[in-house]
Amino acid sequence: MAARKTPAKGSKSDKRWRDALALACLRPADGGKKGERWLDRIAMTVVKAAADGDIQAAKEIGDRLDGKPAQAVVGADGGVLRLIAEVVIVDPKD
Protein backbone atom coordinates (compact mmCIF):
# COMPACT_ATOMS: atom_id res chain seq x y z
CA MET A 1 0.00 0.00 0.00
CA ALA A 2 1.53 3.29 -1.06
CA ALA A 3 1.85 6.17 1.35
CA ARG A 4 -0.53 9.08 0.88
CA LYS A 5 0.84 12.22 -0.75
CA THR A 6 -1.69 14.40 1.05
CA PRO A 7 -3.60 13.89 4.28
CA ALA A 8 -6.97 12.19 3.89
CA LYS A 9 -10.01 14.41 3.88
CA GLY A 10 -11.37 14.54 7.40
CA SER A 11 -8.35 12.70 8.83
CA LYS A 12 -7.93 12.79 12.57
CA SER A 13 -5.33 15.05 14.10
CA ASP A 14 -3.51 12.00 15.50
CA LYS A 15 -2.65 11.04 11.90
CA ARG A 16 -0.81 14.28 11.14
CA TRP A 17 2.52 12.89 12.31
CA ARG A 18 2.09 9.79 10.13
CA ASP A 19 1.16 11.94 7.13
CA ALA A 20 4.17 14.24 7.68
CA LEU A 21 6.51 11.25 7.90
CA ALA A 22 5.00 9.73 4.76
CA LEU A 23 5.57 12.96 2.85
CA ALA A 24 9.14 13.29 4.13
CA CYS A 25 9.95 9.69 3.18
CA LEU A 26 8.77 10.30 -0.38
CA ARG A 27 10.97 13.37 -0.89
CA PRO A 28 14.20 13.01 -2.86
CA ALA A 29 17.14 12.12 -0.60
CA ASP A 30 19.92 14.68 -0.27
CA GLY A 31 23.18 13.64 -1.92
CA GLY A 32 21.81 10.28 -2.96
CA LYS A 33 21.49 8.55 -6.28
CA LYS A 34 19.28 10.21 -8.85
CA GLY A 35 15.66 9.32 -8.09
CA GLU A 36 16.49 7.92 -4.64
CA ARG A 37 14.00 8.85 -1.94
CA TRP A 38 14.48 8.93 1.83
CA LEU A 39 12.34 5.82 2.23
CA ASP A 40 14.64 3.92 -0.15
CA ARG A 41 17.67 4.98 1.86
CA ILE A 42 16.07 4.03 5.19
CA ALA A 43 15.03 0.63 3.84
CA MET A 44 18.53 -0.04 2.51
CA THR A 45 20.00 0.91 5.90
CA VAL A 46 17.77 -1.69 7.60
CA VAL A 47 18.69 -4.35 5.02
CA LYS A 48 22.42 -3.65 5.43
CA ALA A 49 22.10 -3.78 9.23
CA ALA A 50 20.35 -7.16 8.99
CA ALA A 51 23.04 -8.44 6.64
CA ASP A 52 25.66 -7.33 9.17
CA GLY A 53 24.01 -9.44 11.88
CA ASP A 54 21.63 -6.96 13.55
CA ILE A 55 18.90 -9.29 14.83
CA GLN A 56 16.41 -6.47 15.46
CA ALA A 57 16.76 -5.30 11.84
CA ALA A 58 16.28 -8.88 10.62
CA LYS A 59 13.14 -9.26 12.78
CA GLU A 60 11.78 -5.96 11.42
CA ILE A 61 12.22 -7.20 7.85
CA GLY A 62 10.57 -10.53 8.67
CA ASP A 63 7.65 -8.83 10.40
CA ARG A 64 7.09 -6.50 7.44
CA LEU A 65 7.38 -9.21 4.77
CA ASP A 66 5.73 -12.18 6.47
CA GLY A 67 3.71 -10.44 9.19
CA LYS A 68 4.17 -10.84 12.91
CA PRO A 69 3.57 -14.32 14.32
CA ALA A 70 0.06 -14.86 15.67
CA GLN A 71 -0.20 -14.35 19.41
CA ALA A 72 -1.97 -17.11 21.31
CA VAL A 73 -4.99 -16.13 23.34
CA VAL A 74 -4.81 -18.02 26.63
CA GLY A 75 -6.31 -17.82 30.08
CA ALA A 76 -4.58 -17.29 33.40
CA ASP A 77 -1.17 -18.95 33.72
CA GLY A 78 -1.25 -19.97 30.05
CA GLY A 79 -4.23 -22.23 30.61
CA VAL A 80 -7.40 -22.66 28.60
CA LEU A 81 -9.49 -19.57 28.04
CA ARG A 82 -13.08 -20.08 29.17
CA LEU A 83 -15.95 -18.11 27.69
CA ILE A 84 -19.23 -17.91 29.54
CA ALA A 85 -22.25 -16.43 27.77
CA GLU A 86 -25.61 -15.60 29.30
CA VAL A 87 -28.76 -15.25 27.21
CA VAL A 88 -31.40 -12.93 28.63
CA ILE A 89 -34.86 -12.88 27.07
CA VAL A 90 -36.69 -9.62 27.65
CA ASP A 91 -40.43 -9.36 27.28
CA PRO A 92 -41.11 -6.37 24.98
CA LYS A 93 -44.28 -5.61 27.00
CA ASP A 94 -42.21 -4.71 30.09
User: Residue 68: its pLDDT value, please?
Assistant: 84
User: Residue 72: its pLDDT value, please?
Assistant: 82
Comparing C-alpha atoms, which of 67, 48, 73 is closest to residue 58? 48
All structural domains of the chain with their residue ranges: 13-69
- What is the pTM for the complete model shown? 0.57
Let me know: does 8 contact 15? Beta carbons within 8 Å.
yes
φ/ψ region of 69 (left if φ > 0, alpha if ψ in -120 to 50, else beta) reads beta
Let me know: does 19 contact 7? Beta carbons within 8 Å.
yes
- In degrees, to the nearest 5, what angle opens at C-alpha 21 toward C-alphas 69 and 19? 95
Mapped onto helix, strand or coil, the DSSP state of residue 28 is strand
Residue 11 has pLDDT above 70, yes or no: no
Mean pLDDT of 38-58: 96
User: Residue 6: its pLDDT value, please?
Assistant: 61
